[in-house]
Amino acid sequence: MDLDKSVLRKKFLNLREKYNVSQKEIEKIKEKFLNLIEKNNSQTILLYYPHKNEINTIPIIEELLKRKKTVLLPKVEKDRILPILISDISNLKIGFAGIKEPEGKVFPKNSIDITVVPAVAYDRRGYRLGYGKGFYDRFLQDFKNLKVGLAYKFQVLDKIPFEKHDIPVDIIITPEEVIEAGRERSFLNK
């Protein structure tokens, strides 16, 4: 199973790196994500700071801050993710794997309404191909609220190999669609 994952990971990292992103795609994802937040009346959102051609979350972060939402970014400490409150994105420092991270107090995980979970690829059931370190699987272990993936269309597959410790997302947003993965998982997993 791990061999399959590492081959897939390499393939999709390569595809994503070479992908020519349009501003229109980022705008469509942002619009769909903001609609989801409003529909669910969400106040506290944990996003990620983009790197290596991941979906650009900066326009979403800026809009959420304008709307006075509680915005968090992850800080990696040892083998875990710590959600840290931010008030703007200009005071971040280079952290784990060269990704910008916030400084500050750890925000209580059970107060987060939505966690945006980065991945190399997702499947339509919500399972994700992460970067292989398990940070988000550990963080999400006892997370009860909404888990969302943001992806380009080519990053969504029918099936990805998964293991019992892998935590799927509930919703995947692409420029073209909003996939309610949790609904599919309940009957596809049998």
Better-predicted residue by pLDDT, 13 or 27: 27
Chain-wide mean pLDDT for the chain?
A: 88
- Percent of the chain beyond pLDDT 70? 94
Which CATH fold topology does 2-183 show?
Answer: Rossmann fold (3.40.50)
Helix, strand or coil for residue 177? Answer: coil
Report pLDDT for 126.
95
Give the three-state DSSP class for 183.
helix
Taking a C-beta distance cutoff of 8 angstroms, is the pair 156, 168 a contact? no
73, with CB counted inside 10 A (0-12, 13-18, 19+), is buried
Q: Give the per-residue pLDDT at 21.
A: 81
Q: Which pLDDT tens digit goes with each residue over 158-176?
A: 888 888 888 999 999 999 9
- Position 184 scores a pLDDT of 56
Q: How confident is the model at residue 187 (pLDDT cuts 50, 70, 90)?
A: very low
Q: How far apart are CA 190 and CA 187, in angstroms?
A: 6
Burial of 71 by CB count in 10 Å (0-12 exposed, 13-18 middle, 19+ buried)? buried
Mean pLDDT of 52-59: 91
| Per-residue pLDDT at 99 | 87
Q: Provide CB contacts within 8 A for 186, sequence distance 6+.
A: none
Tokens read off for 143: 């997370």
The closest of 116, 110, 100 to 149, measured between CA atoms, is: 116
Question: If residue 104 lies in a helix (H) or strand (E), which one and from where to where?
Answer: none
Query: What is the model's pTM?
Result: 0.89
| Sequence ranges of the domains in the chain | 2-183
Tokens 């959600």 found at: 83
Q: Give the C-alpha separation, 106 to 72, whole Å.
A: 9
**Each residue's pLDDT tens digit, 84-131:** 999 988 888 888 888 899 998 899 999 999 999 999 899 999 999 887
Q: How confident is the model at residue 183 (pLDDT cuts 50, 70, 90)?
A: low
d(CA 49, CA 59): 11
pLDDT of residue 7: 81
Q: Regarding predicted confidence, which is higher, 144 or 188?
A: 144
| DSSP assignment string, 39-53 | HTT--EEE-----TT
Cα separation, 144 vs 41, whole angstroms: 16
